[in-house]
């Protein structure tokens, strides 16, 4: 129709052979141009792995998104775990911007019974920004971020994302307007259960003659974060002013482990039923 004779041969080429041609290096070289990611230097936080040296107060922090639905953003969970005691505080925000994140971070830092000495995050912009840096600088908290090609730098909190947040909240979409309810649930029910009643594993690291590190879990390597905190040398010196182990013992002894777990489960089911019933997501997809 248009007199383009150079396309005449294509009529006799099978579709399967076209796929063979597209897999060739010559085709890829002409059809697409690939360029490596250009790093953007950000002079916020120090790029290194924190070294608590057995001291409480060095946090690992990460964000968990509860998914999108039809263009609407879900809530964001903020998970902070102490590197030595595994003391864990979870927060929730409707948006990940600095305006919404800063008050949640401040509330989470206040919930730790010991002084926060370090704050380690990955390279996400929700934490690596001037607002968070100014907040931590005001509180005299060391600010570090993960190194390139070091996937283990923030592995502790990433493991807790799955074993705590995904286990209890799941993967379904939760609309952003429920962030305040989730925040209240975390502070009232989840935080006491995780830190006073749920045991964690504390591995013993053995180094062989070749320098290879092997992590082993023995019978005495399991304790709650509160029990681990009390077992540290000079543990009382890590507590915030006005906080004592007598006060924390009263919280830990308020109910048994089983009673606390049942209370948590009841509150969680009530919360999730309410979020699903008020969600725009149809029930069969919830």
Pairing outcome for strands 213-216 and 204-207: antiparallel
* Residue 68 host element (H or E): strand 68-69
- The confidence score (pLDDT) of residue 281 equals 53
Q: Looking at residues 7-20, what average pLDDT do you find? A: 85
pLDDT in tens, 35-63: 776 766 778 888 888 889 999 999 999 99
Asked if 181 and 274 touch (Cβ cutoff 8 Å), the reply is: yes
pLDDT at 177 over 70: yes
Burial 246-272 (b: 16+ CB within 10 A, else e): eebeeebeebeeeebeeebeebeeebb
Asked if 229 and 87 touch (Cβ cutoff 8 Å), the reply is: yes
Structure tokens at 109: 């830092």
- The confidence score (pLDDT) of residue 278 equals 66
pLDDT in tens, 87-110: 999 999 999 888 888 999 999 999
Give the separation between CA 171 and CA 3, rounded to whole angstroms: 56
Closest by Cα among 49, 59, 55 to 111? 59
The pLDDT confidence band at residue 205, using thresholds 50, 70 and 90, is confident
Strand partners, 215: 205
Asked if 45 and 136 touch (Cβ cutoff 8 Å), the reply is: no
pLDDT at 211 over 50: yes
pLDDT at 282 over 60: no
pLDDT at 170 over 70: yes
- The confidence score (pLDDT) of residue 285 equals 43
pLDDT in tens, 237-256: 999 999 999 999 999 999 99
Q: Looking at residues 62-75, what average pLDDT do you find? A: 88
| pTM for this prediction | 0.80
Going along the chain from its start, the domains and CATH numbers come out as: 56-285 (3.30.420.10)
The pLDDT confidence band at residue 279, using thresholds 50, 70 and 90, is low
């Amino acid at each position: 129709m248009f007199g383009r004779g150079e396309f005449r041969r294509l009529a006799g080429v099978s579709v399967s052979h076209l796929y063979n041609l597209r897999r060739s290096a010559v085709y890829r070289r002409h059809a697409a141009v690939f360029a490596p990611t250009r790093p953007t230097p950000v002079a916020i936080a120090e790029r290194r792995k924190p070294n608590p040296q057995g001291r409480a107060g060095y946090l690992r922090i990460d964000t968990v998104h509860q998914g999108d639905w039809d263009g609407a953003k879900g809530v964001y969970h903020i998970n902070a775990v102490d590197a030595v005691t595994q003391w864990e505080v979870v927060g929730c925000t409707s948006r990940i911007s600095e305006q919404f994140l800063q008050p949640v971070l401040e509330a989470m830092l206040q919930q730790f019974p010991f002084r926060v000495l370090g704050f380690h995050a990955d390279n996400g912009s929700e934490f690596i920004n001037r607002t968070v840096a100014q907040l931590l600088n005001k509180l005299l908290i060391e600010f570090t971020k993960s190194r390139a090609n070091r996937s283990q730098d923030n592995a502790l909190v990433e493991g807790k994302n799955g074993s705590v947040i995904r286990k209890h909240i799941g993967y379904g979409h939760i609309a952003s307007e429920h962030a305040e309810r989730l925040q209240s649930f975390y502070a009232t029910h989840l935080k006491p259960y995780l830190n006073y009643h749920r045991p964690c594993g504390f591995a013993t690291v053995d180094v062989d003659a070749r320098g290879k590190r092997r992590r082993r879990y023995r019978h005495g390597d399991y304790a709650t974060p509160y029990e681990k905190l009390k077992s540290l040398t000079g543990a009382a010196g890590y507590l915030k002013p006005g906080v004592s182990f007598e006060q924390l013992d009263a919280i830990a002894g308020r109910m048994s482990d089983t009673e606390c777990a049942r209370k948590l489960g009841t509150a969680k089911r009530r919360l999730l039923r309410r979020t699903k019933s008020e969600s725009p997501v149809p029930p069969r997809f919830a």
